[in-house]
Amino acid sequence: MDLLLHLRYFRTVAEEQHFGRAAARLRMAQPSLSQRIQRLERELGVRLLDRGARGATLTPAGRLVLAETDHLLAAADRLAATVARVHSGAAGTLRAAVPPGLGATAVAALLTAFRERSPGATLELRELPTAEQTAELTAGTLDVGIVRHPCPAPGLAFGPTLHQPLGALLAADDPLADPLTGPAELPAAALTGRDLVLFPRAEAPALHDETLTACARHGCTPTAVLAATGPDFTRGLVLSGGAVALVPRTPDEAGTVWRPLHGTTVTWRTSTAWPEGKDSPAVRLFTDTAHTVLREHADMRTAPSTRMVFPRPASEFPL
């Protein structure tokens, strides 16, 4: 027996004090309603209603059961509403991650936009390199992430890909940074002979190799490749002289200048990722939000330049 359903029938009869009026309100036949109330009484082992020619009245046991019924049905309604919000992505906890270097503005915009779109949900956002994100997505400890490509694909599904051109972060006194004599867009070959600052290879091995390969194809041969994770350490290496950081567009700060590479010769591809078959409403909401935020706040684009080159280092990578 569906206890909650039968209790709803009982409450309607109690409110109408008449089986005929209750049946009409419930849009069901009166005999069927009477049978269901009798079944409820047998299930509970008490008589709930006294039947008479003028209607139905609650017995003392019926009054007690009705009071408990109101509490129970109210709790059931709250539970159903909560479950509906979880199913729609408007409630619950979503475990998500972004890659290092996404930028403070983009991270803040992502948190704000997701909160506005889903005010009842909790977004647990962490910063994780792509390699760690794919491992956690596969292990089920992460619901969705923003990853750099190429990255391992088995068991994962991906959102639309965005393209983010890289540029060079230079010391402000570097001749290439001079607004009068330096080029507005740097040829990649102009960075040859410098120490190149890049994210640690362990964070995204395939992307690290692809980036250096793209540099080489456009005539850039660095003297050394220095690993840096945070923006402060990266800027410190640049300020020390001789090193150039290859990073997405970065606001100019005292002592450093960012210049785009000519023709978007080196570009990073980014998308959301989640375990295949687990694109819940909350995951889809995060994906849609991230796609909008990354285009508006992280200088990412939906289409690459026609001059961009994407060497494909291994067949196991999806893009």
Q: What is the per-residue pLDDT for 35?
A: 94
Domain 3-86 has CATH 1.10.10.10: yes
For residue 315, what are the CA distances in angstroms to 60, 152, 158, 162, 263? 76, 10, 17, 21, 27
Q: Fold for domain 167-265?
A: D-Maltodextrin-Binding Protein; domain 2 (3.40.190)
Phi, psi angles (nearest 5°) of residue 29: -70, 145
Q: What is the pTM of this model?
A: 0.70
Q: Cα–chain-centroid distance for residue 316?
A: 25
CB atoms within 10 A of CB 149: 23
Q: What is the per-residue pLDDT for 310?
A: 47
CA distance 133 to 160: 17
CA distance 291 to 299: 12
Asked whether this chain's domains 92-162+269-302 and 167-265 adopt the same fold, the reply is yes
DSSP per-residue codes, 247-269 = EE-----TTEEEEEBGGG-SEEE
Q: Which residue has the tokens 């109690």?
A: 14
Cβ atoms 210, 238 nearer than 8 A: no
Q: What is the per-residue pLDDT for 50?
A: 93
Residues of the chain with pLDDT under 50: 306-319
For residue 254, what are the CA distances in angstroms to 143, 182, 260? 39, 18, 18
Residues 6+ apart with CB under 8 A from 313: 150, 206, 209, 210, 213
CA distance 128 to 158: 17
Q: What is the per-residue pLDDT for 120?
A: 80
164 burial via Cβ count (<10 Å: 0-12, 13-18, 19+):
buried
Q: What is the per-residue pLDDT for 317?
A: 42
Domain boundaries in the chain?
Answer: 3-86, 92-162+269-302, 167-265
Q: Which residue has the tokens 């200088």?
A: 299
Cβ atoms 46, 61 nearer than 8 A: yes
Domain 92-162+269-302 has CATH 3.40.190.10: yes
Q: What is the per-residue pLDDT for 264?
A: 64
